[in-house]
Amino acid sequence: MSDIILEVNGLRAWIDTASGPLRAVDGVDFAIRRGETFALVGESGSGKSMTALSIMRLLPEAARLAGGTVMLDGRDLFPLAEKEMRDVRGKRIAMIFQEPGTSLNPVMTVGTQVAEVLLRHLRTSGAEASRRVVELLDSVGLPSPAHRTAEYPFQLSGGMKQRVMIAMALAAEPDLLVADEPTTALDVTIQAQVLDLLRDLQRKRGMAMLLITHDLGIVSKMAHQVGVMYAGRLVEVAARDRFFREPRHPYSRKLFESLPGVAGRSGELAVIPGQVPALTRVFSECRFVDRCESAAPACRQGEPPLLEVASGHVVRCVRTREIGASALGRLSMDAPGTRQGDAHAPPLLQVRGLKLHFPIRKGVLRRTVGQVKAVDGVALDIPAGRTLVEKPPPARPSSSCCTPRPGACNWTGLPWTSCAAASCGAAGAISRSCSRIPMHRSIRACASATYWQRGNWPSVTIRMPGALRVAPPRCLLRWASPRR
């Protein structure tokens, strides 16, 4: 048996547009070994997700496979009929999609959706399927798994939905897992839990993984091999340790330079000028040449091939040997540097003993039988100029978006326990930063409502594309006030 589980050669996926074919994936080659994680990194629009969808043959309606081969354990997937491909998806290759909230069926319970995989690929149903669903949800760390099987996706948090997606993907024990941004929109704590879970399950089952991410910190912990994509092509492929020690492509170096470092916390982050070129054009030069600080005339004389600079390390750059190795690839894991602001200054926001409990009601009369303690005794101080990273629940009660239990919230030394007490104008700024934009209202309406809530009645101009002039309060009340 070959050690390589997936081999991709010359993969091309094009999207038909009015301007001609958009070459989202244009000649991609890589291989993944059993038990190995291959990470695809690059900025948005580089073709990472389209590569994954091409492998799964789940392309959008306007897209098509324009060439190449995808060999799964020696079997070419492209000639397979759709009926045969359905047997491969879920059983041999499974995928965790970017947005679990939109990938889960909102009108089916979590247990039904996981059981559907077992029925389709393992012919498991009835009591055995129900037992297996609970086992799967428990294996991914979902609390109270037996209870969660009867819940719908809207009843779960973002981290719980992601765990359900992982359970569905692993239900049939696939040989290859495609994880497309598996920690998108998750807070740092849940992010770490999901990554640890994937790593543990991979080690236990020996499965291979194709990991798609923007986060080089995740790559440094999860990947064995790293592939950097730019404008539909791989520009560098190397083992993880070598990639972080000696990135050789100018684009890879720019990605590292864009990371916040210890020394530069008080300054601006480095940026890569320009943007990914339009993929509808036919390239006769290096695709990164217009954004590259090391560009030379030779870079415009045809597309560069992949050059091997070391064993297993290939780079698509004609000047890679001239530029040489760099220490820019060392990703600093040191403690954060000194932040701006005086830690000994009086706190701007002071919270003591903050509690937020939600009642649990049952029966016809909806009697309160218990409470969910979302926030239970939080205490914190935030001086001016300092940053505290926290999840929304403690922030919302302090901004009077909810009614908190007894506790003390002080803003610049003044008590802040209700919306009336917080009407000095600061509440609008904080409550707006905590709240989400309603789906049924435009961004302009939400921004205008902030001015209205803070009592800024005079006519104001919101500086947005196509600046909107907000009228006096009566008109503003009808047009932009929150709906009751």
Amino acid 451: pLDDT: 53
Block residue for tokens 């709906």: 483
Mean pLDDT in residue range 184-189: 73
With cut-offs at 50, 70 and 90, classify the pLDDT of residue 453: low
Cα gap 245→342, rounded to integer Å: 36
Tokens of 35: 């038990």
Overall residue count recorded for the chain in this entry = 484
- H/E element, 226: strand 225-230
Amino acid 271: pLDDT: 83
Mean pLDDT in residue range 312-332: 70
**CA 465, chain centre distance (Å):** 27
- Is residue 431 scored above 60 in pLDDT? no
The proportion of the chain whose per-residue pLDDT surpasses 90, expressed as a percent, equals 46
Which range among 377-386, 388-397, 402-411 shows the weakest confidence by mean pLDDT? 388-397
Does residue 481 sit in helix, strand or coil?
coil
Amino acid 333: pLDDT: 38
Give residue-wise pLDDT tens across range 56-78. 999 999 999 999 999 999 999 99
Does residue 130 sit in helix, strand or coil?
helix
Which range among 152-161, 252-261, 369-378 shows the weakest confidence by mean pLDDT? 369-378
Residue 169 has φ and ψ, to the nearest 5°, of -65, -35
468 Ramachandran zone, left/alpha/beta (phi>0; psi -120 to 50) = beta
Mean pLDDT in residue range 164-177: 92
**243: Cβ–Cβ under 8 A, 6 or more apart, which residues?**
226, 236, 252, 313, 329
Amino acid 150: pLDDT: 93
Block residue for tokens 């760390």: 141
* Amino acid in position 116: E
CA dist 119 to 112, 189, 286, Å?
Answer: 10, 33, 49
Cα radius of gyration (the chain): 26
Give the pTM.
0.72
The proportion of the chain whose per-residue pLDDT surpasses 70, expressed as a percent, equals 73
Pick from 175-189, 263-277, 336-350 the range whose average pLDDT is largest: 175-189
How many helices (H) and strands (E) the chain has is answered by 16, 18
Amino acid 446: pLDDT: 65
- Is residue 38 scored above 90 in pLDDT? yes
Block residue for tokens 């969910």: 372
23 close to 50: Cβ distance less than 8 angstroms: no
Mean pLDDT in residue range 288-312: 92
Please give the class, per CATH, of domain 4-92+174-243. Answer: alpha beta
Cα gap 152→381, rounded to integer Å: 38
Pick from 1-10, 109-118, 366-375, 475-484 the range whose average pLDDT is largest: 109-118
Pick from 30-39, 121-130, 163-172, 336-345 the range whose average pLDDT is largest: 30-39
Amino acid 439: pLDDT: 57
Cα gap 247→466, rounded to integer Å: 42
Amino acid 49: pLDDT: 93
∠ at Cα 102 (212, 15), nearest 5°? 60
Spell out the long-range contacts of 157-163 with Cβ–Cβ below 8 A and sequence spacing 24 or more. Answer: 158/100, 158/101, 158/185, 158/186, 158/190, 159/186, 159/187, 159/190, 159/193, 159/194, 161/100, 161/101, 161/104, 162/96, 162/100, 162/186, 162/190, 162/194, 163/137, 163/194, 163/197
Spell out the long-range contacts of 240-245 with Cβ–Cβ below 8 A and sequence spacing 24 or more. Answer: 240/39, 242/310, 242/312, 242/313, 243/313, 243/329, 244/220, 244/329, 244/330, 244/331, 245/329, 245/330
Mean pLDDT in residue range 214-236: 94
- Average pLDDT in the chain: 80
220 close to 244: Cβ distance less than 8 angstroms: yes
- Is residue 330 scored above 80 in pLDDT? no
- Is residue 288 scored above 80 in pLDDT? yes
Amino acid 479: pLDDT: 43
Give residue-wise pLDDT tens across range 139-149. 888 889 999 99
Cα gap 287→156, rounded to integer Å: 43
**161: Cβ–Cβ under 8 A, 6 or more apart, which residues?**
100, 101, 104, 153
Does residue 471 sit in helix, strand or coil?
coil
- Is the pLDDT higher at 181 or at 478? 181
Amino acid 444: pLDDT: 67
Amino acid 344: pLDDT: 60
Closest residue by Cα to residue 181 from 205, 198, 167, 168: 198
With cut-offs at 50, 70 and 90, classify the pLDDT of residue 482: very low
Amino acid 408: pLDDT: 67
Name the segment(s) of the chain with CATH classification 3.40.50.300: 4-92+174-243
- For 219, other C-beta atoms within 10 Å of its C-beta total 21
- Is residue 19 scored above 70 in pLDDT? yes
Mean pLDDT in residue range 99-117: 92
With cut-offs at 50, 70 and 90, classify the pLDDT of residue 274: confident
